[in-house]
């Protein structure tokens, strides 16, 4: 029995909330089932369709491993002095998923423009050495990676819903370009600091702008 894993993320770009990295592992003979249900890049699907497919994927998969990267963990990598950045943090969590699932082959959507260096960094963190690694940009063209992107996106969307219930208002998409998100950051960043990625330049610009405005008023 050959086990194939696909690994992808959701929530890499938002300034609010966590990022989710997911590994979906299937028996090789079950891969056509993923194709038959339409497991493609989650960005090409509606919210309702992603939820439906996520349920079907969980029934087809032999195992699924999901890792949540909190805003604090992301900030520590981006702005910390631990030698990490977001790509290296993602590589470490990808290794964690591979070490847990122990697939024969792992197909990974690579976040770094330098696939060679990223692959080397990832390999050094693997305890499960007997795995064939395939790293590509836009790897969602493989149904197993598309499946991982769908499960990850659903987890991210579920978290956004939980956040909005917690704060009692909409945060929009959570992305810096979203006007609703920008308003939330301006009005509520000090009320709910735990859900915000403070290392994001978009957050820093808003805070710097508010500080400058306060000085001008003074």
DSSP, collapsed to helix, strand or coil, labels residue 196 as strand
Whether 215 and 37 have beta carbons less than 8 Å apart is answered as no
Dig out the tokens for 110 from the structure: 């690579």
Architecture in CATH for domain 3-164: 2-Layer Sandwich (3.30)
> Average pLDDT of 118-143?
97
Q: For 72-124, how does the pLDDT look when each residue is reduced to its tens digit (9 = 90+)?
A: 999 999 998 777 899 999 999 999 999 999 999 999 999 999 999 999 999 99
210 vs 25, residue with greater confidence: 25
pLDDT for res 217: 52
pTM of the model: 0.93
Kindly report each contact of residues 86-92 with a partner whose C-beta sits within 8 Å and lies 24 or more positions away, as own/partner. Answer: 86/12, 86/111, 87/111, 87/112, 87/118, 88/121, 90/9, 90/12, 90/21, 91/118, 91/121, 91/122, 91/125, 92/125
Mean pLDDT of the chain: 93
Class for the domain spanning 169-217: mainly alpha
Helices (H), 102-195: 115-123, 143-167, 179-188
Element (H, E) at 136: strand 132-136
Cβ contact 53:35 at 8 Å: no
Query: What does the pLDDT average to over 2-28?
Result: 97
Q: Which residue has the tokens 């710097």?
A: 208
d(CA 113, CA 206): 29
Per-residue pLDDT at 190 exceeds 60 = yes
pLDDT band of 204, cuts 50, 70, 90: confident
Residue 217 burial by Cβ neighbours in a 10 Å radius (0-12, 13-18, 19+): exposed
Q: Is the pLDDT of residue 53 over 60?
A: yes
| Whole-number pLDDT of residue 207 | 77
CA distance 167 to 118: 37
Of the chain, the end-to-end C-alpha distance in Å amounts to 70
Reduced to 3 states (helix: H, G, I; strand: E, B; else coil), residue 134 is strand
Give the separation between CA 55 and CA 140, rounded to whole angstroms.
Answer: 18
pLDDT at 206: 80
Whether 216 shows a pLDDT value over 70: the answer reads: no
Q: So what's the pLDDT on residue 215?
A: 45
The encoded tokens of residue 75 equal 């900030």
Domain boundaries, the chain: 3-164, 169-217
Length of the chain in terms of residues written: 218
Tell me what the mean pLDDT of segment 11-33 comes to.
Answer: 97
What's the mean pLDDT in 128-148? 97
pLDDT in tens, 140-158: 999 999 999 999 999 999 9
Average pLDDT score over residue span 4-10: 98
């Amino acid at each position: 029995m050959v086990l194939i894993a696909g690994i992808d993320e959701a929530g890499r770009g938002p300034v609010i909330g966590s990022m989710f990295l997911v590994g979906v592992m299937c028996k090789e003979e079950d891969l056509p089932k993923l194709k038959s249900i339409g497991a493609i890049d989650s960005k090409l699907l509606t919210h309702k369709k992603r939820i439906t497919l996520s349920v079907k994927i969980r029934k087809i998969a032999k195992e699924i491993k999901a890792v949540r990267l909190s805003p604090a963990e992301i900030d520590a990598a981006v702005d910390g002095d631990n030698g990490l950045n977001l790509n290296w943090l993602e590589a470490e969590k990808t290794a964690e998923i591979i070490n847990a699932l122990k697939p024969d082959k792992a197909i990974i959507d690579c976040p770094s423009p330098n696939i060679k260096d990223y692959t080397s960094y990832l390999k050094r963190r693997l305890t499960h050495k007997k795995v064939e690694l395939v790293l590509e940009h836009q790897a969602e063209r493989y149904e197993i990676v598309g499946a991982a992107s769908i499960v990850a996106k659903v987890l991210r969307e579920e978290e956004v819903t939980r956040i909005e219930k917690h704060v009692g208002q909409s945060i929009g998409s959570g992305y810096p370009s979203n006007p609703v998100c920008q308003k939330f950051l301006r009005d509520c960043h000090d009320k709910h600091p735990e859900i915000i990625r403070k290392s994001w330049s978009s957050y820093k610009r808003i805070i710097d702008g508010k500080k400058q405005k306060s000085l001008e008023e003074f």
